């Protein structure tokens, strides 16, 4: 955080600020954005959060979430705020193509741009880059950011709950990317008033019957285990989307079930979306899915959680994924 004193100086007078995060925002994208939103707002800045697309239903309880401007449905307003911004924050993504058309709108704007992110290989699209690929989440980095600006005492219960939400969802309830430092931060958040039981309940126990039916369908009818490669695949077709009325966020977490199998080291969740086929990858241990996503599916992410997409058919993408496995066989069997 070598630039911190410069950022502190910029933030010393009231600014017009836009916070933006990645398409199909998850708990960390929304949690980090709202935490920074409330912090900057309380410092006297004028702040707007713009998300490229809608946030998932399981985050609807979050304070401030309804004020997020959705670029897909509010382009004119987004354009106005981007063009008048003094500062734009990029949270929880590492390249402008992760925010599609919103990125095209932002690229030519010559204001101060600050990226705070934990994905591998951030692209140089912001003048200030605060990147820590070892961090559990961007929300953890927001806690650090506020702390290093000397403002930890300004973290109130709403900011603390937003940060906790991002940490909880990105670590899969403290299963991945944890560290002693993370648990210290979490302890502080709880001391600041976070009710961890209440938040676990709000975030994870808000499913509808169709979600469990969909999960059952995935595990019973759409799962394939390739024992010779320690790999599991679940795929969903357009017809499955219609049958289960699958909306944004409804498939969150399904890929992780594959990792519950003792021998599965690599998991893929492949879904047929309206214009693309999306692939979500997860792995255990040292096996890097980031590399597969980047090399073969125009994507990226982290070592153990990455994703990408393809314009080929669902069948072709499933086949392509299977055909890649021999190349990684040695690493998968180790
Ligand atoms: P998920 O599988 O939950 O959608 O995403 C897992 C991780 O991979 C996230 O950190 C996400 O940012 C990254 N990721 C998912 N899809 C893409 C993609 O299309 N492009 C890139 N660069 N990263 C992705
Ligand atoms: Mn994240």
DSSP string for residues in 203-249: HHS---HHHHHHHHHHHHHSEEEEGGGTEEEEEE-HHHHHHTT--TT
- What CATH number does residue 194 fall under? 3.90.1640.10
Looking at the DSSP bridge assignments, the partners of residue 60 are none
| Encoded tokens for 87 | 């500062």
334 pLDDT higher than 90: no
Looking at the DSSP bridge assignments, the partners of residue 164 are none
- Provide the whole-model pTM: 0.95
Distance CA 186, CA 164 (A): 7
Q: How far is the CA of 12 from the centre of ligand 1 (A)?
A: 34
Q: How far is the CA of 206 from the centre of ligand 2 (A)?
A: 21
| Encoded tokens for 147 | 């702390």
Question: So what's the pLDDT on residue 307?
Answer: 97
Quote the longest CA-to-CA distance of the chain: 60
Residues 58 and 111 in one domain: yes
301, 303, 309, best to mutate for ligand 1 pocket (most atoms within 8 Å of CB)? 301
Residues 199 and 222 in one domain: no
Number of structural domains in the chain: 2
Q: How far is the CA of 218 from the centre of ligand 2 (A)?
A: 25
* Domain housing 305: 209-333
The residue among 139, 173, 204 that closes a domain is 204
Contact 137, 118 (CB under 8 A): yes
Question: So what's the pLDDT on residue 3?
Answer: 86
Atom number, ligand 1, closest to the C-alpha of residue 280 = 2
DSSP state for residue 117 in the 8-state scheme = E
Residues 229 and 199 in one domain: no
Residue closest via CA to ligand 1's atom 20 equals 299
Looking at the DSSP bridge assignments, the partners of residue 34 are none
Residue closest via CA to ligand 1's atom 7 equals 306
Residue closest via CA to ligand 1's atom 13 equals 301
Least distant ligand from the CA of 30: 2
Question: So what's the pLDDT on residue 120?
Answer: 95
H-helix or E-strand spanning residue 189: helix 180-191
Is the backbone of residue 248 left (phi > 0), alpha (psi -120 to 50) or beta?
beta
Least distant ligand from the CA of 273: 1
Residues 56 and 153 in one domain: yes
Distance CA 293, CA 277 (A): 13
Mean pLDDT of 79-101: 97
Q: What is the average pLDDT value for the chain, to the nearest integer?
A: 97
SS3 256: helix
Distance CA 327, CA 308 (A): 19
279, 305, 309, best to mutate for ligand 1 pocket (most atoms within 8 Å of CB)? 305
Least distant ligand from the CA of 93: 1
DSSP string, 26-88: -HHHHHHHHHHHHHHHHTT-EEEEEESSPPPGGGTTSTTGGG-EETTT-HHHHHHHHHH-SEE
Atom number, ligand 1, closest to the C-alpha of residue 294 = 22
Distance CA 190, CA 198 (A): 12
- What CATH number does residue 270 fall under? 3.10.310.30
Residues having CB closer than 6 A to ligand 1 are 98, 119, 280, 299-302, 305-309
Distance CA 195, CA 246 (A): 30
| Encoded tokens for 69 | 């401007």
Q: Tell me the pLDDT tens digit for each residue of 15-30.
A: 999 999 999 999 999 9
Residues 232 and 253 in one domain: yes
Residues 187 and 227 in one domain: no
Residues 256 and 224 in one domain: yes
Question: So what's the pLDDT on residue 224?
Answer: 98
Mean pLDDT of 219-229: 98
SS3 309: strand
265 pLDDT higher than 60: yes
Q: How far is the CA of 154 from the centre of ligand 1 (A)?
A: 32
Percent of the chain residues topping a pLDDT of 70 = 99
Residues 140 and 218 in one domain: no
2 pLDDT higher than 70: no
Closest Cα to residue 114, out of 21, 207, 246? Answer: 21
93, 306, 308, best to mutate for ligand 1 pocket (most atoms within 8 Å of CB)? 306
Atom number, ligand 1, closest to the C-alpha of residue 119 = 10
Question: So what's the pLDDT on residue 32?
Answer: 99
The residue among 189, 204, 219 that closes a domain is 204
Percent of the chain residues topping a pLDDT of 90 = 98
The residue among 155, 184, 204 that closes a domain is 204
| Encoded tokens for 164 | 């906790």
Mean pLDDT of 200-217: 96
Distance CA 282, CA 258 (A): 9
Residues 159 and 276 in one domain: no
pLDDT tier, 199 (very low <50, low <70, confident <90, very high otherwise): very high
Residues 235 and 296 in one domain: yes
Distance CA 26, CA 169 (A): 8
Q: How many helical (H) and strand (E) elements, i.e. helices and strands, does the chain have?
A: 13, 12
Question: So what's the pLDDT on residue 1?
Answer: 54
Question: So what's the pLDDT on residue 248?
Answer: 85
What count of other Cβ atoms lies within 10 Å of the Cβ of residue 74?
A: 14
Q: Tell me the pLDDT tens digit for each residue of 144-184.
A: 999 999 999 999 999 999 999 999 999 999 999 999 999 99
Question: So what's the pLDDT on residue 305?
Answer: 96
Identify the sign of the CA torsion 99, 100, 104, 107: positive
Residues 178 and 251 in one domain: no
Residues 100 and 189 in one domain: yes
């Amino acid at each position: 955080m070598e630039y911190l004193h410069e950022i502190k100086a910029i933030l010393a007078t009231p600014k017009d600020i836009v916070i933006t995060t990645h398409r199909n925002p998850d708990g960390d994208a929304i949690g980090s954005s709202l935490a920074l939103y409330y912090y900057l707002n309380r410092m006297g800045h004028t702040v707007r959060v713009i998300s490229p697309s809608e946030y998932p239903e399981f985050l609807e309880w979050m304070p401030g979430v309804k004020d997020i401007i959705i670029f897909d449905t509010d382009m004119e307003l987004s354009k106005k705020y981007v063009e008048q911004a003094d500062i734009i924050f990029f949270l929880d993504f590492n390249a402008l193509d992760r925010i599609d058309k919103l990125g095209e709108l932002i690229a030519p704007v010559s204001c101060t741009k600050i990226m705070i992110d934990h994905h591998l290989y951030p692209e140089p699209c912001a003048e200030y880059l605060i990147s820590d690929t070892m961090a559990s989440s961007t929300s953890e980095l927001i806690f650090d950011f506020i702390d290093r600006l000397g403002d930890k005492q300004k973290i109130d219960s709403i900011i603390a709950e937003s940060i906790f939400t991002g940490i909880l969802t990105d670590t899969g309830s403290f299963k991945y990317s944890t560290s002693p430092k993370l648990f210290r931060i979490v302890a502080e958040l709880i001391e600041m008033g976070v009710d961890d039981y209440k938040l676990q309940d709000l975030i994870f126990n808000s499913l509808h019957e169709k979600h469990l039916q969909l999960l059952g369908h995935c595990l019973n009818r759409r799962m394939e285990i390739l024992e010779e490669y320690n790999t599991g695949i679940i795929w969903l077709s357009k017809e499955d989307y219609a049958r289960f009325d699958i909306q944004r966020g409804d498939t969150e977490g399904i890929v992780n079930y594959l990792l519950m199998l003792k021998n599965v080291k690599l998991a893929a969740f492949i879904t047929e979306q309206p214009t693309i086929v999306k692939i979500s990858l997860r792995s255990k241990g040292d096996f890097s899915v980031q590399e597969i996503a980047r090399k073969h599916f125009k994507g990226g992410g982290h070592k153990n959680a990455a994703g990408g997409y393809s314009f080929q058919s669902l069948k072709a993408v499933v086949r392509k994924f299977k055909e890649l496995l021999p190349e990684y066989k040695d690493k998968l069997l180790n």
